[in-house]
Amino acid sequence: MTEHTIVVRFPEGVNPAYNAATEFQGGQVVAVDFSGNRLRIEQELTEALDQAVTSMLDSGYSHDSVVVRAAMEALEKATEVS
Partners of residue 23 on adjacent β-strands = 28
What is the CB neighbour count within 10 angstroms for residue 57?
Answer: 15
Residue 60 is predicted with a pLDDT of 92
Q: What's the pTM value of the predicted model, to 2 decimals? A: 0.53
Got the DSSP string for 35-77? TS-HHHHHHHHHHHHHHHHHHHHHTT--TT-HHHHHHHHHHHH
In tens, the pLDDT along 4-39 reads 777 778 888 888 887 777 888 888 887 777 776 777
